[in-house]
Homo-oligomer: A and B are copies of this chain.
Amino acid sequence: MSKVLTSGHPVSVADVPQWDIVTDVAIIGFGAAGSCAAIEARNAGSSVDIFEVASAPGGSASWSGGEVYVGGSGGTTIQRKHGFEDSTEDLQRYLMMSGGPAADQDRVTLYANNASAHFDWLGAQGVPFKGTYLPGKWIEPTTDDTLIWSGNEKAWPFSAQAKPAPRGHTVEFTGWGGGKLFMEKLCDQALQVGATAHYDARALCLITDHDGAVQGVVVRIAGQPVYVQARQGVILCAGGFIGNRDMVKRYAPEALKCEQLVTGGNDDGSGIRMGISVGATTLNMHEFFATLPFFPPASLVKGIFVNERGQRFINEDSYHGRVAHYVLRQPNGRAWLLVDNDIFARPVIQPNITIAAVGETWEEIEEELQLEPGSLVATVNEFNRHAAEGQDPYLHKSDEWLRPLLSPPFAALSYCSGDFDGHAFTLGGLATLPTGEVLNADGQAIQGLYAAGRTACGLPRWGEGYSSGMSLGDSTFFGRQAGLSVAANIARD
Contacts and interface: CB of A to CB of B under 8 A. Distances in A.
Interface of A: 3, 6-10, 12, 14, 101-102, 210-212, 246, 250-251, 253-254, 256, 269, 272-273, 276-286, 309, 311, 372, 374-375, 378, 382, 393-395, 431, 440-444
A285 B457 CA distance: 14
A246 B273 CA distance: 24
29 contacts: A6-B442, A8-B279, A8-B444, A9-B442, A9-B444, A10-B212, A12-B210, A102-B253, A246-B443, A250-B431, A251-B283, A269-B441, A273-B441, A273-B442, A276-B276, A276-B279, A276-B440, A277-B279, A277-B440, A278-B279, A282-B282, A285-B285, A309-B394, A309-B395, A311-B311, A372-B393, A375-B382, A375-B394, A378-B378
A8 B372 contact: no
A455 to B, nearest CB: 12
Contacts of A309: 394-395
Contacts of A14: 210
A278 B212 CA distance: 10
A474 B77 CA distance: 59
Given A250-B431, A276-B440, A309-B394, 9 more contacts: A8-B442, A9-B279, A14-B210, A102-B253, A272-B441, A277-B441, A286-B286, A311-B311, A374-B382
Nearest to A254: B101
Copies of this protein in the assembly total 2
Contacts of A431: 250
A462 B250 CA distance: 13
Contacts of A393: 372
B276 A441 contact: yes
Nearest to A431: B250
A25 to B, nearest CB: 24
Contacts of A444: 6, 8-9
Contacts of A278: 279
Contacts of A250: 102, 283, 431
Nearest to A312: B309
Nearest to A378: B378
A243 B124 CA distance: 49
A487 to B, nearest CB: 25
A282 B281 CA distance: 8
Contacts of A8: 279, 440-444
Q: Which of A12, A254, A277, A374 has the most CB of B within 10 A?
A: A277
Contacts of A375: 382, 394
Contacts of A6: 442, 444
A179 B221 CA distance: 58
A280 B8 CA distance: 9
Contacts of A285: 282, 285
A226 B455 CA distance: 38
A431 B374 CA distance: 47
A382 B378 CA distance: 11
Contact of A7 (B269, B280, B394, B441): B441
Contacts of A441: 7-8, 269, 272-273, 276-277
Nearest to A101: B253
A7 B286 CA distance: 24
Contacts of A211: 3
A6 B211 CA distance: 13
